[in-house]
Structure 1
Amino acid sequence: MSNTPHDLYEDFPEKAEAIHALKAKDAHFARLVEEYHEINRAVHRAETLVEPTTPEHETELRHKRMKLKDQIWKQLAA
Protein backbone atom coordinates (compact mmCIF):
# COMPACT_ATOMS: atom_id res chain seq x y z
CA MET A 1 0.00 0.00 0.00
CA SER A 2 1.35 3.36 -1.00
CA ASN A 3 0.43 6.66 0.59
CA THR A 4 1.52 8.51 -2.52
CA PRO A 5 -1.33 10.07 -4.49
CA HIS A 6 -1.66 8.72 -8.04
CA ASP A 7 -1.94 12.03 -9.90
CA LEU A 8 -2.60 11.52 -13.61
CA TYR A 9 0.02 14.07 -14.59
CA GLU A 10 2.64 12.20 -12.56
CA ASP A 11 1.53 8.76 -13.73
CA PHE A 12 1.38 9.86 -17.40
CA PRO A 13 3.88 12.75 -17.63
CA GLU A 14 4.29 12.27 -21.38
CA LYS A 15 0.52 12.72 -21.79
CA ALA A 16 0.16 15.93 -19.74
CA GLU A 17 -0.56 18.09 -22.80
CA ALA A 18 -2.99 15.52 -24.22
CA ILE A 19 -4.84 15.33 -20.89
CA HIS A 20 -5.17 19.10 -20.77
CA ALA A 21 -6.29 19.33 -24.41
CA LEU A 22 -8.84 16.52 -24.11
CA LYS A 23 -10.28 18.01 -20.91
CA ALA A 24 -10.81 21.28 -22.77
CA LYS A 25 -12.57 19.78 -25.79
CA ASP A 26 -14.29 16.64 -24.49
CA ALA A 27 -16.80 17.03 -21.63
CA HIS A 28 -17.00 13.26 -21.06
CA PHE A 29 -13.22 13.02 -20.72
CA ALA A 30 -13.20 16.02 -18.38
CA ARG A 31 -15.80 14.28 -16.17
CA LEU A 32 -13.72 11.08 -16.12
CA VAL A 33 -10.66 13.05 -15.03
CA GLU A 34 -12.59 14.92 -12.34
CA GLU A 35 -14.12 11.70 -11.02
CA TYR A 36 -10.66 10.08 -11.04
CA HIS A 37 -9.24 12.97 -8.99
CA GLU A 38 -12.14 12.76 -6.49
CA ILE A 39 -11.70 9.00 -6.02
CA ASN A 40 -7.92 9.36 -5.90
CA ARG A 41 -8.20 11.96 -3.13
CA ALA A 42 -10.58 9.66 -1.21
CA VAL A 43 -8.12 6.76 -1.50
CA HIS A 44 -5.26 8.95 -0.31
CA ARG A 45 -7.29 10.25 2.64
CA ALA A 46 -8.21 6.66 3.59
CA GLU A 47 -4.60 5.44 3.28
CA THR A 48 -3.25 8.27 5.42
CA LEU A 49 -6.08 7.84 7.95
CA VAL A 50 -7.27 11.41 7.45
CA GLU A 51 -10.66 9.82 6.75
CA PRO A 52 -10.46 6.22 7.97
CA THR A 53 -12.74 3.73 6.28
CA THR A 54 -13.25 0.01 6.20
CA PRO A 55 -10.77 -2.12 4.25
CA GLU A 56 -13.63 -3.18 1.97
CA HIS A 57 -14.55 0.40 1.13
CA GLU A 58 -10.91 1.33 0.54
CA THR A 59 -10.59 -1.64 -1.83
CA GLU A 60 -13.77 -0.57 -3.63
CA LEU A 61 -12.35 2.95 -4.05
CA ARG A 62 -9.09 1.56 -5.45
CA HIS A 63 -11.01 -0.57 -7.97
CA LYS A 64 -13.03 2.47 -9.09
CA ARG A 65 -9.80 4.47 -9.45
CA MET A 66 -8.22 1.69 -11.53
CA LYS A 67 -11.26 1.45 -13.84
CA LEU A 68 -11.32 5.22 -14.34
CA LYS A 69 -7.59 5.29 -15.06
CA ASP A 70 -8.08 2.51 -17.64
CA GLN A 71 -10.87 4.51 -19.34
CA ILE A 72 -8.72 7.64 -19.32
CA TRP A 73 -5.75 5.76 -20.76
CA LYS A 74 -7.87 4.27 -23.55
CA GLN A 75 -8.94 7.76 -24.62
CA LEU A 76 -5.38 9.06 -24.41
CA ALA A 77 -4.03 6.16 -26.44
CA ALA A 78 -6.68 6.45 -29.16
Structure 2
Amino acid sequence: MHGENHALMFEFPELKDKIHEMKMADTAFCRMVDEYHQLDHKIRGLEMAKIPTDDDNFRHLRMRRVQLKDDIYQQISQ
Protein backbone atom coordinates (compact mmCIF):
# COMPACT_ATOMS: atom_id res chain seq x y z
CA MET A 1 0.00 0.00 0.00
CA HIS A 2 1.37 3.39 -0.97
CA GLY A 3 2.29 5.75 1.85
CA GLU A 4 2.02 3.02 4.47
CA ASN A 5 4.15 3.60 7.54
CA HIS A 6 6.70 0.80 7.96
CA ALA A 7 8.23 2.18 11.16
CA LEU A 8 9.75 -0.56 13.28
CA MET A 9 7.28 0.08 16.10
CA PHE A 10 4.51 -0.94 13.66
CA GLU A 11 6.47 -3.76 12.03
CA PHE A 12 7.59 -5.32 15.33
CA PRO A 13 5.31 -3.92 18.07
CA GLU A 14 6.14 -6.76 20.45
CA LEU A 15 9.87 -5.99 20.15
CA LYS A 16 9.84 -2.19 20.53
CA ASP A 17 11.36 -2.29 24.04
CA LYS A 18 14.13 -4.63 22.92
CA ILE A 19 14.85 -2.44 19.88
CA HIS A 20 15.13 0.58 22.16
CA GLU A 21 17.46 -1.26 24.55
CA MET A 22 19.68 -2.43 21.71
CA LYS A 23 19.81 1.07 20.21
CA MET A 24 21.07 2.39 23.54
CA ALA A 25 23.69 -0.37 23.92
CA ASP A 26 25.01 -0.84 20.37
CA THR A 27 26.00 2.11 18.16
CA ALA A 28 26.15 0.01 14.97
CA PHE A 29 22.64 -1.27 15.60
CA CYS A 30 21.50 2.28 16.33
CA ARG A 31 22.93 3.50 13.01
CA MET A 32 21.18 0.67 11.17
CA VAL A 33 17.83 1.50 12.81
CA ASP A 34 18.34 5.20 12.04
CA GLU A 35 19.09 4.40 8.39
CA TYR A 36 15.94 2.26 8.24
CA HIS A 37 13.86 5.07 9.76
CA GLN A 38 15.24 7.70 7.35
CA LEU A 39 14.76 5.41 4.37
CA ASP A 40 11.18 4.58 5.36
CA HIS A 41 10.41 8.29 5.72
CA LYS A 42 11.93 9.03 2.29
CA ILE A 43 10.01 6.18 0.62
CA ARG A 44 6.71 7.30 2.15
CA GLY A 45 7.36 10.81 0.86
CA LEU A 46 8.02 9.51 -2.64
CA GLU A 47 4.92 7.32 -2.54
CA MET A 48 2.75 10.23 -1.41
CA ALA A 49 4.18 12.30 -4.28
CA LYS A 50 3.01 9.48 -6.59
CA ILE A 51 6.48 8.63 -7.92
CA PRO A 52 6.06 5.69 -10.35
CA THR A 53 6.85 2.34 -8.72
CA ASP A 54 8.75 1.17 -11.79
CA ASP A 55 11.49 3.73 -11.21
CA ASP A 56 14.78 1.83 -10.66
CA ASN A 57 15.99 4.14 -7.91
CA PHE A 58 12.69 3.86 -6.06
CA ARG A 59 12.80 0.07 -6.34
CA HIS A 60 16.36 0.09 -5.00
CA LEU A 61 15.28 2.18 -1.99
CA ARG A 62 12.46 -0.23 -1.20
CA MET A 63 14.77 -3.24 -1.49
CA ARG A 64 17.30 -1.59 0.83
CA ARG A 65 14.51 -1.03 3.38
CA VAL A 66 13.59 -4.72 3.21
CA GLN A 67 17.24 -5.71 3.61
CA LEU A 68 17.65 -3.44 6.65
CA LYS A 69 14.43 -4.75 8.18
CA ASP A 70 15.68 -8.34 7.79
CA ASP A 71 19.07 -7.44 9.28
CA ILE A 72 17.43 -5.67 12.22
CA TYR A 73 15.12 -8.60 12.87
CA GLN A 74 18.01 -11.07 12.78
CA GLN A 75 19.88 -9.05 15.39
CA ILE A 76 16.93 -8.59 17.74
CA SER A 77 15.92 -12.25 17.54
CA GLN A 78 19.36 -13.61 18.50
Both structures adopt the same fold (TM-score exceeding 0.5): yes
Output the CA distance in 1 between the equivalents of 2:42 and 2:68: 14
- Displacement of 1:42 in angstroms is 1.0
Deviations 1:15-66 (A, max 9, x none): 010000000000010000000011111110110018x477111101000100
Kept in 1: contact 2:39–2:65 (CA 8 A): yes
Give the whole-Å Cα distance in 1 for the aligned partners of 2:10 and 2:42.
18
Which consecutive aligned stretches of 4+ in structure 1 deviate over 2 angstroms post-superposition? none
Match of 1:49 in 2: 49
Identity of aligned residues (%): 32
**C-alpha distance in 1 between matches for 2:27 and 2:66:** 20
**Alpha-carbon RMSD:** 1.6
Please say if 1:37 is aligned against 2:42. no
Size of the aligned set, in residue pairs, is: 77
2:61 aligns to what? Answer: 61
